[in-house]
Amino acid sequence: MAVATRSVTDVCVAARAAARRLAALDSGAKDAALHAIADALVARTDEIVEANANDMEAGREAGLSAALLDRLMLDSARVSAIAAQVRDIAALRDPVGEVIEGFRLPNGLDVRKERVPLGVVAVVYEARPNVTIDAAALCLKSGNAIVLRGSSSAAHSNAVLAQIAAQHAPEGAIGLVEGGREALAELARQEGLIDLIIPRGGEGLKAALREVATVPVIYAASGNCHVYVDASADPDKAEAIVLNAKTQRPGVCNAAETLLVHTDAAPAFVPRVLRALRGAGVELRVDGRTRALAGELAGELLDAVEEDWDEEFLALVLAVRIVDSVEEAIEHVNAHGSGHSEAIVTADAASARTFRLGVDAACVYVNASTRFTDGGEFGMGAEIGNSTQKLHARGPIGLRELCTFKYVVEGDGHIRP
């Protein structure tokens, strides 16, 4: 099936009809469709890369940042990786029909709590064409129909990717809508047709949805993530984790944006890590205590302002602050973080426990980089986004997060007295 330009309502009506069929589809049929999508992605790589080149050219002309251009770019290696993720999703256990718990009541009724698809999921995203396939594959595997609404910056890429996926899925199961704010508002009001909207993008997108949405929304969060280096931290491990969290891919939501260092570790660690970060091209915005330990690097540092602690830089920029205790680090994280991913580097089990219990975030790391917050890294095959909400889904949104449940109760002519 080719993806044609249709009204938002038409796409949603088709998705609702498809959702009923998908809910009853067996695992073999869903996996066969996923493998067909993966094969088609590889076979049509040149077409995908050519379409993406048009988006990249337009993005450069529009002055998109390096981070956004990196998110937008597709080459043969990235297309191959996307196809591999589709196969990874196919290899995962089908969540539909899983028995979450089961028990027999004293009256003999058998009760099962079974996982079932949500129905129709809409995913709204910006400048990430890989999400087109990741989201479609996850929804297909979990028995959901999907309505995709990408950004104009990736229009050519999204169109060809959605077309490829839709051609190998049940009719109406994968739909793509186009248009600006009016189309977004129309999509967000499709009560009775859309069961859930997941926006994956900046704060502007989320604010736009909050103004108009009448269907449930899970917000895939921005990532103001922190690494806290405790007094007992191994300096070699700490330096490696900080560099990885900040520089491995700075334009993504699980990259670190602030470094916190315990005052007892600071005299030895701060000069060392500042040199390493500057050597990697990182712009540093620091508090006064950090500057005092910077030595010959002091002239290369910027003074941090209050807004820097709340900023998701998505670039080679890092804010640095010295704190007096793990409790002060937790207070800073909870005041300024976005609830995405937070890390402590420590050799002290008590500090680790205090941090992981005290920090309010979807993912908390002990002696590991924040960069692991990802559905693929967590063994989910892929993700639609990372939720920092606490109801229904938190952290990477994978197959099980795209399901709800129902109670199935079996009796033998039981009636309630």
pLDDT bracket for residue 5 (50, 70, 90): low
Written as one string, the DSSP assignment of 309-369 is: GG----SSEEEEEEESSHHHHHHHHHHH--SSEEEEE-S-HHHHHHHHHH---SEEEESS-
How far lies 197's CA from each of 206, 255, 385, in Å?
11, 25, 12
Give 1's pLDDT tier (boundaries 50, 70, 90).
Answer: very low
The answer to whether residue 377 sits within a structural domain is no
Same domain, 100 and 137: yes
State the chain's mean pLDDT as an integer: 94
Residues 263 and 399 in one domain: no
Q: Does residue 417 belong to any structural domain of this protein?
A: no
Does 166 lie in the same domain as 22? yes
- Expressed as residue numbers, the domain containing 333 is 225-372
pLDDT average, residue stretch 86-101: 96
| Residue 3 binned pLDDT confidence (cut-offs 50, 70, 90) | very low
246 and 335 belong to one structural domain: yes
Give the chain's largest Cα–Cα span. Answer: 84
- Proportion of the chain above pLDDT 70, given as a percent: 99
What average pLDDT does this structure show over 148-172?
A: 96
Residue 255 dihedral angles phi and psi, to the nearest 5°: -80, 145
Label residues 349-364 b or e (16+ Cβ within 10 Å = b).
eebbebbeebbebbbb
For residue 309, being part of any structural domain is answered with yes
Co-location of 185 and 290 in the same domain: no
Q: In this structure, are 204 and 230 located in the same domain?
A: no
- Domain shared by 212 and 230, yes or no: no
Residues 347 and 390 in one domain: no
Model confidence band, residue 2 (pLDDT cutoffs 50, 70, 90): very low
Tens of pLDDT, residue by residue over 105-138, are 999 999 999 999 999 999 999 888 999 999 999 9
Lowest mean pLDDT among 124-128, 165-169, 303-307, 360-364: 124-128
CATH of the domain at 173: 3.40.605.10
Instruction: Give the count of domains, the chain.
Output: 2
pTM for the model stands at: 0.87
Cβ neighbors of 221 (< 8 A, separation 6 or more) are 253, 338, 339, 340, 362, 385, 386, 387, 388
Q: What is the mean pLDDT of residues 226-233?
A: 98
Q: Are residues 368 and 249 in the same domain?
A: yes
Residue 3 belongs to some domain of the structure: no
Q: Identify whether 332 is part of a domain.
A: yes
Domain identity same for 294 and 273? yes
User: Is the domain of 58 the same as that of 82?
Assistant: yes
pLDDT tens per residue, range 307-355: 999 999 989 999 999 999 999 999 999 999 999 999 999 999 999 999 9
Same domain, 252 and 393: no
Pair 209, 217: CB distance under 8 Å: yes
Cα 308 from Cα 317, distance rounded (Å): 10
CATH code where residue 261 lies:
3.40.309.10
Is 395 in a helix, a strand, or coil? strand
Residue 415 lies inside a defined structural domain of this protein: no
Give a yes or no: residue 355 inside a domain: yes
Instruction: Please give the pLDDT value at position 299.
Output: 94
Segment 155-170 shows an average pLDDT of 97
Residue 186 lies in a domain: yes
